[in-house]
A and B are shown apart, each in its own frame.
Chain A
């Protein structure tokens, strides 16, 4: 295949005579790769700098304008063995990065304040024993206030803003009691300090903010790491299109530079990267990624083709109807929007806890105030005690109870190759009792292989592979790859649409369609018989015939089940889950796959709407459904399920609809995801109980009026540490 240089200029940033580009690089594993890349690129003339970010596996390269081009840098990286692709940082991503920086800044300020306020608090506490003069204590309280008030105003903003958002929406989240606690504690401490009181809680407030911010920051950092990896995958998979820029002039451009109305060329063996109508050409296309159908579809001028399909036999000129963002079937898009809306609003565990916690605590504090008033204490001391109750009930342990577990569990899943998209996906995964799989590309590998490889002689396989190297036909590519062939035969002739032929060691050898290899009655009969028997065993296979002199072999090329599919299904059943298949493919391959995997329910021939209906029926019966799928036709079903996962090989749109994406060829990550999320949910509930037990001990002390700032500080840090240590068990 001839390769045009791809035009990546649309990704380049220009500033002060320098041009820069961000590249996602595949294959950066360790520090060694980092040095190799940076040193390798620096030898290029014209390059100003190259810096690898090992955490996000990206390289930023800059050069003097006009002295280098992106394609040059990419091919230089390619020579070093790294596949690179430019990407543009999108708005969501840069907003996430800004939020992370802001949380880090707040956390740093809170840390500074917590340490310095503690310096004075410890002095005051020990001063109680050594009779510190009241003036000195007041001075220390004033200095503490000077540090704590601006800190709380600045570092507490993430909580105040979130609380305000919740209240405006008429809801209560954990940030509401946190905000109330912080404001009341500060107000009371200032009041006490003004009146030369003995107890001020500046240290407690600042420490509370510091602990909570650690949790928030880790959570945000984990989420960004996941999103970075997902974005990286997307960039590396990003397709290019060969566009006509003149009557006879072609240019290969990234898909983002193709607009509606453009004319693109798709060669045989290439994936179509746009939606459009064929202007010229005749071919067969493989729609398995779009519809799940494994049989090839004949197309010619006037037919519509969709992004994600694979062109098999002939070159096609396609007039683009829609490109990049909008590449999908209208119907799928509409269904997706509807399914996403209908997903019932899941209430997170933390918010449910907050709904219970906030009223209970506020009622207790109010009754404490009224109780002490009735008991004959003045309103001022009664109010002080009521507020200490609010402080000591410690939204700290509660505020950390769930996020800490989420961070640890998301990290554990990340290491096992599962990228969680949304924060509450863990809790929804834990509740699942039914798993629905798509077949093509999900239970099976996205790439085909030789299904009857075990029955074929090594010599035949090898020679057929060497012959196949001369063709770009997708079936030939699979054959060559499976045979691990690397030295093409000499003197190969190709009859387009039929097959290949060559002379080898005095024999005439042929590879291709039945007609190409047959020709005499005996051979034709043998080929027909072999193909028929293979078709029975491999209903979803495509066939390719090989003939050396009078010796005939038929290869069945099909998508094999993922290597651990059988074990993964057994493990899922072991977890007490119901399994079923919803496929857009024909019945025969679906029956075969479900029999091999021991799945009883399998439905074939489903359109996207049919998949949604099946999932909604399951949900109506009260099942909590996990949908695992990869095709564009699965996207609406993914959104309709309670929670969804898709393999990293899935279509872009499908990955966006899924709650989690898993990497690699194995289904093991699906099992891990359910196991770890169940464990995480158990630990979250444990943590909530720990917080309840803590309150059961601490609240009576506070109601009795014995909660001094020292007690509050110890209780707060103690409970936070217990909850965090317990959360570490979610690594499991």
Chain B
């Protein structure tokens, strides 16, 4: 069961990483225009 010493921090760390990514995207106003963002990805010019 020694593997838990590695696995537990790893799992928590990954979760924390996700949370930080969420904070980052919120701060960068990624959720302001959900309709536009969907279309920007597929427009050919920029």
Contact = CB atoms under 8 A, between A and B. Distances in A.
Q: Do A and B bind each other?
A: yes
A119 B11 contact: yes
B18 A55 contact: no
B45 to A, nearest CB: 7
Interface in A103-122: 104-105, 108-109, 112, 115-116, 119
Nearest to A30: B39
A105 B43 contact: no
A31 B26 contact: no
Nearest to B41: A31
Interface string B14-46: 011011001100100001111110011011010
Given A108-B19, A109-B19, A116 B39 contact: no
A53 B11 contact: no
B3 interface: no
Nearest to B32: A53
A112 B8 contact: no
B6 interface: no
Given A115-B15, A116-B15, A143-B8, A55 B26 contact: no
A116 B22 contact: no
A34 interface: yes
Given A35-B43, A112-B18, A115-B15, A101 B36 contact: no
Given A31-B43, A35-B43, A119-B11, A112 B19 contact: yes
A205 B35 CA distance: 33
A535 interface: no
Contacts of B34: 55
A105 B30 CA distance: 13
Interface string A671-694: 000000000000000000000000
B28 to A, nearest CB: 12
A39 B46 CA distance: 9
A101 B39 CA distance: 23
A54 B33 CA distance: 6
Contacts of A56: 33
Contacts of A53: 32-33, 36
A57 to B, nearest CB: 9
A104 B19 CA distance: 12
Contacts of A109: 19
B32 to A, nearest CB: 7
B39 A34 contact: yes
Contacts of B31: 104
Contact of A39 (B23, B26, B45): B45
A101 B35 contact: no
A52 interface: yes
A661 B40 CA distance: 31
A36 B10 CA distance: 47
A31 B8 contact: no
A714 B42 CA distance: 41
A119 B18 CA distance: 15
B26 A101 contact: yes
Contacts of B18: 112
A452 B12 CA distance: 76
A96 to B, nearest CB: 13
B30 to A, nearest CB: 11
Interface in A84-114: 101, 104-105, 108-109, 112
Nearest to A42: B46
A115 B18 CA distance: 11
A136 B4 CA distance: 10
A35 B35 CA distance: 13
Interface string A29-59: 0110011000100000000000011111000
A105 B33 CA distance: 17
A220 B39 CA distance: 24
A54 B8 contact: no
A22 to B, nearest CB: 13
A55 B43 contact: no
Given A116-B12, A143-B8, A104 B33 contact: no
A55 B36 contact: yes
A668 B42 CA distance: 36
A472 B39 CA distance: 43
Nearest to A52: B36
A655 B32 CA distance: 26
Interface in A1-44: 30-31, 34-35, 39
A116 B22 CA distance: 15
A53 B35 CA distance: 8
Nearest to A34: B36
A150 to B, nearest CB: 12
B22 A55 contact: no
B36 to A, nearest CB: 3
Contacts of A143: 8, 12
Contacts of A115: 15
A212 B23 CA distance: 20
B26 A112 contact: no
Contacts of B45: 35, 39
A55 B11 contact: no
Nearest to B29: A101
Contact of A31 (B15, B32, B39): B39
A99 B1 CA distance: 45
A116 B15 CA distance: 7
A54 B22 contact: no
A12 B16 CA distance: 41
Given A31-B36, A56-B33, 12 more contacts: A30-B39, A34-B39, A34-B40, A52-B36, A53-B33, A55-B33, A55-B35, A104-B31, A116-B11, A119-B11, A136-B1, A143-B12
6 contacts: A31-B43, A34-B39, A34-B40, A35-B45, A116-B11, A136-B1
